[in-house]
Amino acid sequence: MQKCESFTIDKLMKTIRYSYIIRLITSILLFWILGTVSGFAQQFDSERAALVEQHFPNIHGFYSQLESIEEIPESIPDEWNATIIFRDTITGKLGDGIPIAVSDVFKSCKSCVTSKIIFTYKPEATEAGSCHINMGCPEALPFANLSKSVCRISALIGGMVYYSTGVLVNNTADDGRSLLLTAEHNGLDFFNNRFASQSELDQWLFYFNYQHDACNGIPLPLNTEIYEGASLLARSFDQGGTTGSDFALLEISDTTFFSDDFVFSGWSRSTSPPQNGVTIHHPQAQLKRISFYQNSPTLDVFDLQNTPVHWKVFWNATQSGHGTTEPGSSGSPLYDQNNRIVGNLSGGFSSCDEVHREDYYGVFYHHWDKNGNRNDQQLAPWLDPLNIDPVHYEGKGLNSNTFTTKTNIEIYPNPAPVSTALHIDHAFERVEIYNQLGQLVSTSNDRILAPKKAGMYQLKIHLYDTIIFKKLIVH
C-alpha cells in the first residue's frame, strides 16, 4: 500500500497496494461505487458551497482567498472542520493553521489581510495510531536537529488534497537551495495518469516544525512555519514506484523561505545497506513522529518491478513505543546510522495494528541516475551541481555561516532609497524582486532598480549554478 493520505477517495484505497492490475480493478469498482458515493459527494459539495456562500459570499473553491481578516466568521457548523491559513503582510510568511472556530485568536494580527481557508468534513478525520513516538520522547531527542529537515506536505491534485511527507536535502554547492525530496506517487493523479500541474503545485503547502516537544498525549504543535508553492525539478517517471524507485524533487518557491532557518539533510548513494537508523514522518498528516530500525534492510521489489530497487525495512520497539508508518508518511526519508538519507517511503504494510510488518523505501542510489537519462529523471544534476561525484554528502545546519560564501553575496545600497540602482557583488543571470505578499514586483538580467514604494522586499538572485535569496529594505 502506498502511504499518502488523501482527502476523500484515497480513504477507499489506503489499504490497497497500487499496481497496474489493482488500479484497473479499483477504477472499475470506483465507477460502480460512485453511484452510491455520489449522493454523499453531491451533498458534501452543496453543503460546502452553501457554507462558503454563507460566510464568504465572494469566495469560491476548495482553496479560497480571503480579502480581509474581518471576513472570518466566529464559528461554523459542528459537522465541519475548517482551518485558516493566514499570511502576515509584515513578515510575508504564512501563519499556523488555526481552526476557524477560534479565529478570534488571531484577529489581533492587524497585518494579516490575506488568508486561505481549507474545509474538511469531520467524518474524514483520522488520528495517527497510538504506537507512534513523538519527537519529544527521550529516544527522539538526538534527532531533534535532523527532524527540522522534514515537513508535512498538503498537495492539491485534481480537486483533492493529499497529505504526505517531504525532506529538505543539501547539495554540493552548500547554498541552501530549497530542494525538497519526496515520493513521486505523492504528486500523481492516478485517475488521469499525470503529475500535479504547475498551477496545482503553486498551491501546495509545506509545514515545517509541525511537531511538539512533549512525549505523551496529543499536544498542539508549536512554532509551525508554512510555505506555499513549489516547482517540479525531477521525478522517477515510474507510475509511483511501479517500475522504479519512486522519487520527486521539488523546489519550494515561496519567497519568504530563508535557507538559514532550516536543516538540509545529507545523503548517501552507497549500494551497501545501512546498519540501522530512523525514519521521520507525519502519519495520518498528524504531528511529526519517529520510527527506529535496528537491523539492516534488504533489497526487494515493490509492485511490478523486475529489479529490486527498494529497501525492505522492519521497525523495532523503543522505550516510548513501536513506531511504524501510516498513510501520510509517504515520501518520508529513511536515514542510515550516519543520519544520511538512503531512501524515501513508497509504501508497505506496517501500522500500529501490524507493527511487525514491512515497509518499502525507494533506494537513493537508484534515484541518483538510474530511472532515466534525462536531468528531469535524476537527482544527480540537482544535488551535485559542482560535479564532484560524491558517494556521501553531509547535511548542513541552521547557522547560515555553515553555507559557502555564495550566501554572503552583498547587495548595496541596502537599505536603499526608492528607485535607486542596486549593485550585486557577484555575476548573476537574473534577479527577481518580490514584495511582502510574495508578488513579483520586477525582474531584470541587467540593471536592477529598487522598487518605487518603501517597504521590505526579497530578491531572488539566479546565479548560473544556483539560486539564493536576500532581503532588501527600501525607504
d(CA 36, CA 338): 51
Q: Write the DSSP assignment of 406-421 as a string of letters.
A: GGG--EESSSB-TT-E
Query: What's the grid cell of residue 41?
Result: 459527494
Q: Which of 43-47, 79-83, 454-458 has the highest mean pLDDT?
A: 454-458
State the Cα–Cα distance between residues 247 and 381, nearest whole angstrom.
14
**Does pLDDT of 469 surpass 90?**
no
Condensed to tens digits (0 to 9), the pLDDT of residues 54-78 reads: 443 333 333 333 333 344 444 444 4
What letters, b where the CB count within 10 A reaches 16 and e where it falls short, cover 283-321? bbbbbbbbbbbeeebeeeebbebeeebbbbbbbeebebb
DSSP 218: -
What number of residues does the chain have?
475
- Range of lowest pLDDT (43-47, 216-220, 279-283): 43-47
Contacts of 7 (CB under 8 A, 6+ apart): 120, 124, 160, 161, 162
CA-to-CA distance for 41 and 49, rounded, in angstroms? 12
Residue 106's pLDDT band, with cuts at 50, 70 and 90, is very low
CA distance linking residue 231 with residue 51, whole number of Å = 32
Residue 339: strand pairing partners: none
Strand 411-412 and strand 421-424: the pairing is antiparallel
Between 153 and 113, the more confident residue is 153
Whole-number pLDDT of residue 466: 67
Query: Looking at residue 91, what is its pLDDT?
Result: 53
**CA dist 406 to 87, 176, 328, 463, Å?**
29, 10, 36, 9
The answer to pTM > 0.85 is: no
Q: Are 376 and 366 in contact (CB under 8 A)?
A: no
Q: Is 360 exposed, middle or buried (0-12, 13-18, 19+ CB in 10 A)?
A: buried
Over range 97-121, report the average pLDDT. Answer: 40
For Cα atoms 254, 428, 199, give the angle at the middle one, nearest 5 degrees: 30
Give the C-alpha separation, 436 to 452, whole Å: 14
Class of domain 409-474: mainly beta
Is it the case that residue 160 has pLDDT exceeding 60? yes
- Grid cell in block for residue 445: 538580467
Task: Assess contact for 184 and 236: CB atoms under 8 A.
Answer: yes
Q: How many helices (H) and strands (E) does the chain have?
A: 5, 31
Q: Provide the pLDDT for residue 311.
A: 97
pLDDT score, position 437: 65
Q: Residue 292 — very low, low, confident or very high, per pLDDT cuts 50/70/90?
A: very high
User: d(Cα 233, Cα 228) in Å, to the nearest integer?
Assistant: 16
Distance CA 284, CA 347 (A): 14
Distance CA 432, CA 411 (A): 13
**Better pLDDT: 447 or 47:** 447
Percent of the chain past pLDDT 90, that is, above it, reads: 43
Per the CB < 8 A criterion, the answer to whether 153 and 205 are in contact is: yes
Mean pLDDT of the chain: 76
Is residue 457 exposed (0-12), middle (13-18) or buried (19+ Cβ within 10 Å)? buried
- Return the CATH fold of 127-400: Thrombin, subunit H (2.40.10)
Kindly state the average pLDDT of the residues 124-150. Answer: 85
Domain assignments of the chain as residue spans, ordered by start:
56-124, 127-400, 409-474
Nearest to 239, CA basis, from 189, 284, 287, 292: 189
Contact 472, 450 (CB under 8 A): yes
What cell numbers appear for 28 in the block?
472499475
